[in-house]
């Protein structure tokens, strides 16, 4: 354990600032609210916080359109508030990392305002500009969020490039002045004491400078229609392949490795900081690049099964370089919440416990998302005027214009597939607005009414059998057993397709971790690991009276999580 860095031992907890805690009663989460909840986070047992963008922003893309890399959005507080938050988190033994958006800025950022002011402005080359061809954009590239990737700027008569929304112009990372300016912003936060960064959308930073046309024969609208009409696995796979081809010249281009090495050198000027990439590209996880990249493939299933997890771990751990460290997650602010994602409609609480136990027992650093600990569900907005995610508005329009769906059906799809569903405010109590903000205040997004059914912190804190208290016990258990943090991972053959079993060994411990992912009780033979095991943790309580469990006939209840010392 002593040889590990703090980020290898930590459990990270992502905070979505706008929805976590409203400290001043205006319906918007803020830094003061986060400060007020630090004791809660400490009692939960997390070690590090990842703060989604807190920078000044027009909020076109929920803060990922940054207007000032070294400031704090006024609705969240100010730099003094941030310093206090950082100091108080550190005083409680928790680290804090920030989101770093490198691909683009807001079109309201002073850099872009200067860049678009004239053709000869000194910052003209800070963004990707092109005069076009024959009065048209330079090519037919698309924005991944819809429409063309080139926007004509009337002020100078040229086009600027944006991979995301047109309000998010891409920075020109071939320009050394851009690199210097962003590294200065990085040092600003590191000088303050921030413990590192999660790097947003790093695969989109470079595009092919030759500007070749995509070889995909479909338009973006046609791709949308095909994806919605695909019914078989083969059709969905074909659409996925064409989608990759459509954006091939715009993502994962040469230059990323050198850029990440340059950023790593900046970060290594400081002691003990971390870089986490929003990517599952293992080639970026190197001693001189990123410390961590996410194991996103693990979450890309509707059901966690032993076969799925074992194959994921076989591939992932097999491909990681010997010096690299794994990083696992099942949720974040861009995907469905963990509870509804893996809920089968009947066994949600048990499946939520299995999801957490999996994160905390697999080899690597776990990332959790705020609200998972109380089992928050996705909330589907019923009124399009309440959407805050522009993607939902896009889906709402396309469902009607391309597929001919009625407004009500289009609204249902937009709500279920946009990102607002997983970004609603965290419920702190069984009170109006879930205790997030005063009853007379309208929160920035609707509060999921499930708070009245016990999906809130206060009710679950008072219930020993709640999901929240299971999170606390499970996080404490992980901290007490170094093998779950530093130990090797070895799969174990259980003989049952419903049982996932593996061994974590190290730091003087050899632990068996077994999940019965089926709905029937099973008896498995794990005698290859030894004759008996000392049960340490189970989701069945009390599990059994015996002091030791025979491994040649180990019984597991439906959906049980069992951890034992072998």
- The pLDDT tens digits for 287-316 are 999 999 999 999 999 999 999 999 999 999
Report the pLDDT value the prediction gives residue 461, as an integer from 0 to 100: 98
Set 22, 167, 278, 373: catalytic member = 278
Cα separation, 362 vs 490, in Å, equals 10
| Cβ-contact 355, 304 below 8 angstroms | yes
**Residue 278 is a catalytic residue:** yes
Does the pLDDT value for residue 180 go beyond 60? yes
| Among candidate residues 269, 272, 296, 302, the one with its CA nearest the CA of residue 284 | 296
Percent of the chain with pLDDT over 70: 99
Residues, the chain, total? 566
Per-residue confidence band for 544, with pLDDT thresholds at 50, 70 and 90: low
> What residues does each domain of the chain span?
110-161, 487-565
Average pLDDT, the chain: 97
Check residue 2 and give its pLDDT: 79
Write down the pLDDT at residue 391.
96
Q: What pLDDT is recorded for position 377? A: 98
Q: Residue 548 has what pLDDT?
A: 87
Q: What percent of the chain has pLDDT over 90?
A: 97
Contact 538, 561 (CB under 8 A): yes
Q: What is the pLDDT of residues 54-86, one digit of tens each?
A: 999 999 999 999 999 999 999 999 999 999 999
Reply yes or no on whether the pLDDT at 546 is more than 70: no
- Alpha-carbon separation of residue 23 from 115, 423, 442 (angstroms): 37, 18, 14
Euclidean distance between CA atoms 236 and 230, whole angstroms: 6
d(C-alpha 221, C-alpha 216), whole Å: 13
**Rounded-to-integer distance, Cα 294 and Cα 362, Å:** 13
Can you read off the two tokens belonging to residue 253? 């281009």
DSSP 8-state symbol, 151: E
pLDDT of 531 over the 60 cut: yes
Over residues 137-167, the pLDDT tens digits come to 999 999 999 999 999 999 999 999 999 999 9
Predicted confidence at residue 542, as pLDDT, reads 61
Tokens linked to 73: 């959005």
pLDDT in tens, 422-478: 999 999 999 999 999 999 999 999 999 999 999 999 999 999 999 999 999 999 999
Residues 6+ apart with CB under 8 A from 356: 368, 372, 470, 471, 474
| Rounded Cα gap, residues 336 and 328, in angstroms | 16
Among 3.90.400.10, 3.40.50.80, 3.40.50.300, 1.10.645.10, name the CATH number for the domain at 110-161. Answer: 3.90.400.10
Rounded to 10°, the helix 220-229/233-246 angle is 160
Please check whether residue 190 is in contact with residue 213, taking contact to mean a CB–CB distance below 8 angstroms.
no
- Asked whether the beta carbons of 143 and 163 are under 8 A apart, the reply is yes
Distance in angstroms (rounded) separating the CA atoms of residues 237 and 234: 5
Asked if residue 545 has pLDDT above 90, the reply is no
Give the whole-angstrom CA distance, residue 501 versus residue 531: 16
pLDDT score for 543: 59
The CATH topology of domain 487-565 is Immunoglobulin-like (2.60.40)
User: Given 22, 200, 373, 378, which residue is catalytic?
Assistant: 200
Q: Does 220 have pLDDT greater than 60?
A: yes
Query: Strand pairing of 12-15 and 48-51?
Result: parallel
């Amino acid at each position: 354990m002593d040889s590990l860095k703090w980020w290898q031992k930590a459990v990270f907890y992502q905070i979505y600032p706008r929805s976590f805690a409203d400290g001043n009663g205006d319906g918007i989460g803020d830094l003061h609210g986060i400060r007020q909840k630090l004791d809660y986070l400490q009692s939960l047992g997390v070690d590090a916080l990842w703060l989604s963008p807190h920078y000044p922003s027009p909020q076109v893309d929920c803060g990922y359109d940054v207007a000032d890399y070294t400031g704090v959005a006024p609705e969240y507080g100010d730099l003094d508030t941030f310093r206090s938050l950082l100091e108080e988190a550190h005083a409680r033994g928790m680290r804090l990392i920030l989101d770093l958006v490198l691909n683009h800025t807001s079109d309201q950022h002073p850099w872009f305002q200067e860049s678009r002011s004239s053709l000869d402005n000194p910052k003209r080359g800070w963004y990707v500009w092109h005069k076009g061809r024959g009065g048209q954009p330079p090519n037919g590239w698309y924005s991944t969020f819809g429409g063309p990737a080139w926007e004509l700027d009337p002020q100078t008569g040229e086009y600027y490039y944006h991979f995301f929304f047109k309000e998010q112009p891409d920075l020109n990372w071939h320009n050394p002045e851009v690199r210097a300016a962003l590294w200065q912003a990085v040092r600003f936060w590191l000088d303050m004491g921030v413990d590192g960064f999660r790097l947003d959308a790093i695969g989109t930073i470079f595009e092919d400078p030759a500007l070749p046309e995509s070889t995909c024969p479909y338009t973006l609208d046609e791709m949308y229609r095909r994806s919605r009409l695909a019914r078989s696995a083969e059709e969905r796979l074909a659409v996925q392949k064409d989608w990759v081809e459509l954006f091939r010249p715009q993502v994962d281009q040469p230059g990323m490795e050198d850029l990440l090495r340059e950023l790593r050198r900046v970060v290594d000027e400081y002691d003990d900081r971390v870089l986490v990439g929003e990517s599952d590209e293992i080639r970026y996880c190197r001693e001189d690049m990123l410390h961590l990249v996410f194991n996103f493939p693990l979450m890309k299933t509707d059901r966690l099964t032993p076969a799925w997890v074992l194959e994921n771990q076989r591939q992932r751990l097999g491909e990681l370089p010997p010096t690299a460290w794994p990083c696992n997650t099942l949720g974040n602010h861009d995907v469905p919440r963990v509870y509804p994602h893996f809920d089968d409609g009947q066994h949600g609480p048990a499946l939520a416990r299995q999801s957490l136990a999996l994160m905390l027992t697999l080899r690597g650093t776990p990332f959790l998302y705020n609200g998972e600990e109380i089992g928050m569900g996705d909330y589907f907005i019923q009124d399009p005027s309440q959407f805050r995610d522009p993607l939902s508005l896009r889906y709402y329009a396309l469902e009607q214009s391309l597929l001919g769906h009625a407004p009500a059906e289009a609204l249902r799809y937009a709500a279920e597939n946009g990102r607002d569903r997983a970004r609603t405010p965290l419920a702190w109590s069984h009170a109006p607005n879930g205790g997030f903000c005063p009853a007379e205040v309208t929160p920035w997004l609707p509060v999921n009414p499930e708070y009245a059914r016990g999906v809130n912190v206060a009710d679950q804190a008072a219930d020993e059998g709640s999901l929240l208290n299971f999170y606390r016990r499970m996080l404490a258990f992980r901290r007490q057993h170094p093998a779950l943090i530093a130990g090797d991972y070895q799969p174990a053959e259980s003989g049952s397709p419903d049982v996932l079993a593996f061994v974590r060994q190290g730091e003087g411990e050899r632990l068996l971790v077994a999940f019965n992912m089926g709905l029937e009780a099973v008896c498995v033979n794990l005698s290859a690991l030894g004759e008996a095991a000392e049960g340490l943790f189970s989701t069945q309580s009390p599990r059994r009276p015996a002091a030791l469990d025979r491994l040649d006939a180990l019984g597991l209840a439906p959906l049980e999580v069992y951890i034992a010392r072998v």
